[in-house]
Amino acid sequence: MRIVFMGTPAIAATCLTRLCEDGHEIAGVFTKPDTPKNRGMKLAESEVKACAVSRGIPVFQPETFKNNDELRRTLTALRPELIAVVAYGKILPQWALDIPPLGCVNIHASILPALRGSAPIQWAVLNGLRETGVTAMYMNAGMDTGDIIAVKKTPIGPEETSGELTDRLAALGAALLSETVRRIADGTAQRTPQDGAKATLAPMLSKALSPIDWSRSAEEIRNQVRGLIPWPVAAADFEGKRFKIYRVLPSEEKTNAAPGTPLALTRRGLDVACGGGGVLTIAELQAEGGKRMPAPDYFRGHPIKL
């Protein structure tokens, strides 16, 4: 099948690779413009662009689809039978949705209509869900509101981070996209309207989510730490110093101490009081300007008042 693919991050690159391996003709790839990254602020290409360039596929990086007649002509000239979208980061206007005769399909990393939006994997972990998945749907002009074609589900591990879950969902999404294209080609793809009354949202992440509120329960804080890896990462202050918190462990201990109070340093890490009398152990952290390391190692060299 002749396909135009649209996506940006690694999860999308995995899906693009699968379409290529399935033997489809990828007429062109659309991805976000290169962005400045790291301290040098050098322009970095997306994972999807790198994948496309390595395979000799034409790459397009429009800033916007709005009022862009040249882009409309370009996309029309590519003559796609189908457009496949995975984590592109842009909403397609109706004129783009109308171009391919077989429609536009999207792989979304949640069990729709739950967690519509840009960060469904992270919010599944932040919300403490035990299960998530990937959904294939026909696209419409709304945000993740199109008819569902198929769903693949998977449990979320109790210690699994957003980064780890993303890697698993990438493989699951690639398999679902492969199956979906095959079903569309042979005319067996189904359409099930979403129940909008059951919809929840997964808005874009920001650094404002990082600071830990120790008055929350230990379980809520644990989900926050897991959900914000690899970015923006949960953060906490001890004795005037800011730390990124990369791993916490549950504790059976109970305390009457005020939330946020450091209680004890053990071989597992630093025990900290949480809301409701709970205790959480910080096992891995990174001091501002320092390296990521086990908490016991750090605090042995930098004693903290307990």
In a domain, residue 59? The reply is yes
With b for 16 or more beta-carbon neighbours within 10 A and e for fewer, the 34-53 pattern comes to eeeeeeeeeeebbbbbebbe
pLDDT at 69: 93
pLDDT at 152: 98
Q: How many distinct structural domains can be found in the chain?
A: 2
Distance spanning both ends of the chain, measured CA to CA: 64
Looking at 176, 198, 220, which one is the last position of a domain? Answer: 198
Retrieve residue 89's tokens: 């980061």
pTM attached to this predicted model:
0.95
Structural domain containing residue 267: 207-301
174 Cβ neighbours under 8 A, 6+ residues apart: 14, 15, 17, 18
Q: How far apart are CA 162 and CA 156, in angstroms?
A: 10
Task: Find the radius of gyration of the CA atoms of the chain.
Answer: 22
In a domain, residue 306? The reply is no
CATH number, residue 231: 3.10.25.10
58 Cβ neighbours under 8 A, 6+ residues apart: 27, 28, 29, 52
Q: How many CB atoms lie within 10 A of CB 33?
A: 12
Looking at 177, 198, 219, which one is the last position of a domain? Answer: 198
Retrieve residue 79's tokens: 């003559």
Determine if residue 67 is left, alpha or beta; phi over 0 gives left, psi from -120 to 50 gives alpha, anything else beta.
left
Q: How far apart are CA 120 and CA 133, in angstroms?
A: 10
Pair (132, 214) in one structural domain: no
Digit-by-digit pLDDT tens for the chain (306 residues) are: 999 999 999 999 999 999 999 999 999 999 999 988 776 668 899 999 999 999 999 999 999 998 889 999 999 999 999 999 999 999 899 999 999 999 999 999 999 999 999 999 999 999 999 999 999 999 999 999 999 999 999 999 999 999 999 999 999 999 999 999 999 999 999 999 999 999 999 999 999 999 999 999 999 999 999 999 999 999 999 999 999 999 999 999 999 999 999 999 999 999 999 999 999 999 999 999 999 999 999 999 999 998
Distances (CA, A) of 139 to 62, 152, 167: 20, 18, 24
pLDDT at 40: 66
How wide is the angle at C-alpha 132 spanned by C-alphas 121 and 186, nearest 5°? 100
CATH number, residue 170: 3.40.50.170
Pair (26, 159) in one structural domain: yes
